[in-house]
Amino acid sequence: MFPFDKWTEEKLNSYKYYKVTYHKYRKSIRDYLDYMEIFKSAEFHGFIDKCSRVPSWKYKNLKTYYDKNEKTWISKYDESSISSTLTHHIFNIIFRNCTKIRQFSLFNISNKTVKTVQNNSFKNLSNLCYLEVGKQYFLGNIFRDCKKIKKIVIHFHGFRLNRDRWLDSSLLINFFKDQKELKAIHFSDLSNSIKRSVGNIYYYQLRPIPEELLIQIHSIEELGMHCFILPCRQLNTLSKLKHLEITLWKWKPETIASFDNGLCPLLEVLKFQDDLPPLDVLAKFIGKTKGHLKCFYIKNPNQNHYDHTQLLLKSIAKSCPKLNSLSTIINITKDLSFLKTLLISCNELKNFTLISIDFMSQSLLQEQLRMMDENWGVVHEKCQYKKCNHIDSIRFNKYQIKLKNNLIDH
C-alpha cells in the first residue's frame, strides 16, 4: 500500500532477500495516520527490519566506526538496510498527514532522510510536546513552526560538540527562547557512550557555555545529563529545578566539584543511572534541597562508594520529610539503627530499595523491619553481579521493601 516511486521499487527488488509485491486493498474507511501521536525513528528502524525477517547476521543495521577527521566514534544506520530505504518515504507521509503527533524522535536517521526532514515544513506537527534530536540544524526548521514543546532530548554526538566551545549555539538559544512551555532538557554525549562500549572511555565536562544559553537552562524544571555534567561555575544555583537526572560512569575531581557546588533548593526528584559521587558529597547536596525531595533513585552503583553510608542516611532522614520513594546504598550490618531513624523521619515513604554488599537473608531483614515497624514487608530480593578491575565479581544484595497491601489500600 506504500506509494513507492520507481527508484525505491528497483532498490528494494535489488536486495537478495526481498521482493516487492503489491496487495490491492480497498481504501480504509478511517484515516489511521490521523490517530498517530508518537513516532521514534530508531524504534521504527528496528521494527521494519524485524518485520523483514532477515536474520541479523545477514547485515548489521547499526554500524560503528572511528572517524579519523573528527577523532571520534560514529554510529549510524547501514544505508543498505530495508528500513533506511523506506524511512524517507515514511517521513514524507508523516509531514503530510500526521497532524496529531505529540512525540517525535529524529535520532539516528539515514543520510537520505536527513534531506527529507530538512526540506519539509513542521507546520503540520505544531502539536509537538516531546522532541528528540541528533542533528543541530533540525532545530532551525522546528522552532519556527512548533511552539508547544515541553521536553527536548539533545544528543551531542550528532552536534559534533567541540571540546573548547559549544558549536554554533545560536540555534539552541533561539530554540529555547521560542519555546515558552519548555520545562525539561536532557543532554546526552553519545560519543562517550560508544567509547564505553568499545572499552576506550573518556569523560568530559561541557566547556563554558554562552551566558544567554545558560539563562535558558536555568529557567527549566527538569534537567538530564548523560556522560557529562555542567561546568563548576555554571551549574551553581538552578533555582527552578525540580527533577535532576545524572548518568556518569566515572566521577572525576572536576565533575565532583561541579556537583558539590550545585544548589537546587526546589528539587523533588534526584536520579543516578550509573555511578555515584562520593557519598559525603551526595549527603551534602541532599541537605541543600530544603526538604522538597520526594524521590531519590540510584542504579548500578560503583563498589568503591560505600564509605559514608551512615552520613547519607542521616542526611536523608534530616532533610527529606516528604520522601515517598527511596533507593539507597546501605551497610546493613552497621546501619540498621540509622534506617530506623530514617523510617521515623520520612513518614510519607511508601517504598524503598536497599542496595548493600553485606549479606542478609530476606527473612532476617523482614524480622528486623518488623521490630522497627510491622507495616513494612520485604517484597523480593534480587542479587546482581558486577565485574571489577581487581575483583572477579561483587554481590549486591538488593531488597525491595514496601508497605503491606492492607495499609496501602487504606
pLDDT tens for each residue of 116-166: 777 777 888 888 999 998 877 777 778 778 889 999 998 875 444 444 445
3-state secondary structure 217-258: HCCCCEEEEECCCCCHHHHCECCCCCEEEEECCCCCHHHHHH
Question: pLDDT for 161-173, tens place per residue?
Answer: 444 445 557 778 8
- 394 falls within a domain: no
Of 173, 128, 129, 172, nearest to 151 by C-alpha is: 129
C-alpha cell belonging to residue 121: 515544513
Residues in the chain, overall count:
410
Give the C-alpha separation, 358 to 334, whole Å.
10
- 177 falls within a domain: yes
The answer on pLDDT for 303 being more than 50 is: yes
Structural domain span for residue 109: 31-320
The answer on pLDDT for 322 being more than 90 is: yes
70 confidence band (pLDDT: 50, 70, 90):
low
Least confident of 43-57, 93-107, 313-327: 43-57
Is 88 exposed, middle or buried, given 0-12, 13-18 or 19+ CB atoms closer than 10 A? buried
Give the C-alpha separation, 234 to 261, whole Å.
10
DSSP 316-370: HHHH-TT--EEEEE--HHHHHHHHHHHHHH-TT--EEEEEESS---HHHHHHHHH
- 402 falls within a domain: no
- 370 falls within a domain: no
Question: How far apart, in Å, are the Cα atoms of 305 and each of 149, 368, 395?
Answer: 38, 25, 14
Output the pLDDT for position 383: 63
Question: pLDDT for 334-373, tens place per residue?
Answer: 888 888 899 899 989 999 998 887 777 788 888 888 888 8
Please state the domain count of the chain.
1
Phi, psi for 176 (deg, rounded to 5): -65, -40
Cβ partners under 8 Å of residue 292, min gap 6: 242, 265, 266, 267, 268, 322
391 confidence band (pLDDT: 50, 70, 90):
very low
291 confidence band (pLDDT: 50, 70, 90):
very high
Question: How far apart, in Å, are the Cα atoms of 227 and each of 191, 196, 254?
Answer: 9, 10, 14
Give the C-alpha separation, 192 to 62, whole Å.
17
> What is the pLDDT of the chain when averaged over all its residues?
77
- 8 falls within a domain: no
- 304 falls within a domain: yes
Phi, psi for 64 (deg, rounded to 5): -120, 130
Residue type, 137: Y
- 400 falls within a domain: no
Residue type, 398: K
- 348 falls within a domain: no
Cβ partners under 8 Å of residue 81, min gap 6: 45, 49, 59, 61
